[in-house]
Amino acid sequence: MTQENSKSTGTILLVEDEFNIAKLFNYNLTKAGFHCEVAGNGAEGYQLAEKIKPDLIISDVMMPEVDGYEFRRMLLKNPELKHIPFVFLTAKAEEEDILTGYDLEIEDYIIKTSSPKVVIAKVSAILKSLERERVKVVDEVQKAADSMGTKTVPDEFPRLDGFLIKHWHLPFKNIPGGDFIDYFKLDEDNLAIILGDVMGKRWGAWYFAVAYAGYVRSAARFVLESSTDYQPSHILQKVNESVFKDERISEVFITLSIIILDKKNKTARYSGAGDLPLIFKSKSVERVLSKGVLLGFSKAGEYEDTEINLANGDELFLFTDGITEARNKAGELYGEEKLMEFLASLNPDEDTIEQIQKEIDNYTGGEMDDDLSLIAVKVL
C-alpha cells in the first residue's frame, strides 16, 4: 500500500497497550487501506495526535499511566484536537462504561472481540458520515458567502508604478475561510495593502469566519474611503473602534496588517494588530514586529507605525499563520525561521510567489491544515 492510497481513505490513530491486539487491529486497518499510527497509552497518544492530526482516533479504555477516559478529556481541552472523531475500544460493553464514553462526546464503541469486518465497517461508516457532513458544510458556507456577496480576496493584483505586487491565497480544503486580502488606492501616489485573519474561538464562529472576514474587510474599506490620513496606525485604530463596539466579534480573534506604499517617496509605512511580523528583504532579511493588540481586544489598540525606506530590488512579505504552521509528513512545523531562510535564497530572476508556492507544496506534500495567504511586494 502506498502513502498516496492511504490518504484517500484516512489516517487513524490507534491507542492500545496490549501488543497483540494493537498488532491485529493495525494489520486489519492497514489492509483495508487506512494509514494507521499506534501509541501505547494515552500520554503517547496525545503527543502523536498533536503531531499527525489524524482523521479518527480509536483508543482502549483501560491503559497504564493515562487511561482512555483521561486521554479523551485531554483531547477535549485542546481546541485543535477536540473535534477529531473518537471511538473507544473496550473488552466489555457494560452500560455504565458506555454512558461514561458518550458523556465524553465519542462517536461509538468497538468491542475488541468484534470481527475485522465489523471493525472496518464501523470505521468506514464513521469517516464516510463525517465526509458527507464536511461536504454539506462546505456547500452551505460557499452558498452563504455567495448570497452575501462576500469577497475576501481580489481576483487581480493591484498596479502601482515602481512596484510589483502579488498575492497567494489557498483556502483550507477549498472552504471559504477567515483570511482576507484587500488593496485600496488612496490617491495616485499611495496604495494601501491589507491582510487579515479571522480565527474562530469555537466551531460556530469558524463556520461564519468568511462572514466576519467580509465584515472586517468592509470596515477597513469604509475607514480608507473616508480618510485623508495615510498613517496605518490611525486606520487600524478606527477599524478597531468599530470592531470593539460589535458584540458579535467577541466570538473571534482578528489579526490585521496594513502597509501603505508611497511611490513618490519610495517608502512603506506599516502597522499591525496581533499579526505575524512583516518581513523586509534588502541586503539582509529582517523581521519588522508590530506591538498592536488583536482587533477588538481593547478600545485602545496602541498601534504604531514603522516607516521603511525602499530601494530597487527590495521586497516586503506579509503572511498569515497558515504558512508558518504548515506541517510536513512528520508533523514538523515549517516555522518562521525556515521561511526567512527560504526568502533569503529566492532567485531574483524567477517569480517570487511561484517559488514560495513550490516550497510550501514540497514541504507539506500538498496537505494543508489552514488557509494560506501571502502578499509579496517587490520594488522595481
The domain that contains 35 carries what CATH number?
A: 3.40.50.2300
Residue among 55, 57, 52 at smallest CA distance from 328: 52
- 76, 171: one domain: no
Q: Is 147 exposed, middle or buried (0-12, 13-18, 19+ CB in 10 A)?
A: exposed
Position 300 scores a pLDDT of 83
Does residue 169 share a domain with residue 56?
A: no
Sign of CA dihedral 361, 365, 368, 369: negative
Taking CB atoms within 8 Å and a gap of at least 24, the contacts of 286-289 are 287/336, 287/340
23, three cell numbers: 498488532
Q: Are residues 226 and 335 in the same domain?
A: yes
Domain end point (choices 141, 172, 194) = 141
Residues 154 and 124 placed together within one structural domain of the fold: no
Alpha-carbon gap, residue 301 to 243, rounded angstroms = 11
Q: Exposed, middle or buried: residue 103 (CB in 10 Å: 0-12, 13-18, 19+)?
A: exposed
Identify the pLDDT of residue 379. Answer: 96
Which of 192, 198, 204 lies closest to 234 in space, CA to CA?
192
Select from 355, 368, 361 the least CA-distant residue to 317: 355
pLDDT at residue 138 is higher than 70: no
Q: In what order do the strands lie in the sheet with 252-262?
A: 179-185, 190-200, 252-262, 267-273, 306-309
- Kindly state the average pLDDT of the residues 250-265: 88
- pLDDT category, 320, cuts 50, 70, 90? very high
pLDDT value, residue 134: 64
Average pLDDT over residues 226-252: 82
- Nearest-CA neighbor of 319 among 276, 353, 370? 276
Would you state the pLDDT for residue 291? 85
For the chain, first and last CA: distance in Å?
50
Query: 86-90 and 108-111: which strand pairing?
Result: parallel
Angle at CA of residue 178, ends 78 and 254, nearest 5°: 75
In terms of domains, do 236 and 347 share one?
Answer: yes
Looking at 141, 168, 196, the residue that finishes a domain is 141
d(CA 286, CA 43): 39
Q: Find where cell 460493553 sits.
A: 93
- Same-domain pairing of 158 and 134: no
Question: Residue range 28-43: average pLDDT?
Answer: 91
Q: How many domains does the chain have?
A: 2
Phi-psi region of 332 (alpha: psi -120 to 50; beta: other; left: phi over 0): beta
Whether residue 97 contacts residue 79, with contact meaning beta carbons closer than 8 Å, is answered with no
Nearest to 319 by CA among 260, 230, 233, 259: 259
- Give the mean pLDDT of the chain: 84
89, 181: one domain: no
Q: Identify whether residues 201 and 76 lie together within a single domain.
A: no
List, in sequence order, every residue forming a beta bridge with 267; answer none if it has no partner: 262, 309
CATH number of the structural domain spanning residue 266: 3.60.40.10
Is the same domain home to 103 and 162?
Answer: no
More confident residue, 206 or 125: 125
Question: Given its phi and psi angles, is residue 153 left (phi above 0), alpha (psi -120 to 50 degrees) or beta?
Answer: beta
pLDDT at 43 over 60: yes
Phi, psi of 371 (to 5 degrees): -60, 145
Instruction: Report the pLDDT value the prediction gives residue 279, as an integer from 0 to 100.
Output: 97
Q: What is the CA radius of gyration of the chain?
A: 24
Instruction: Compute how many other C-beta atoms are within 10 angstroms of the C-beta atom of residue 358.
Output: 12
Q: Determine how β-strand 306-309 pairs with β-strand 315-319.
A: unpaired
Distance between CA atoms of 52 and 129, rounded to whole angstroms?
21
Per-residue confidence (pLDDT) for residue 157, from 0 to 100: 96
| Mean per-residue pLDDT, 248-257 | 76
Domain extent at residue 202: 150-379
232 and 257 part of one domain? yes
Residue 2 has pLDDT above 80, yes or no: no
DSSP 79: T
C-alpha–C-alpha distance, residues 344 and 341, integer Å: 5
pLDDT value at residue 175: 63
* Same domain assignment for residues 167 and 187: yes
Q: 340 Cβ partners below 8 Å, 6+ apart?
A: 279, 285, 287
Domain boundary among 120, 141, 162: 141
Residues 101 and 219 in one domain: no
User: Could you tell me which residue, 147 or 27, shows the higher pLDDT?
Assistant: 27
60 CA to centre of own chain: 30
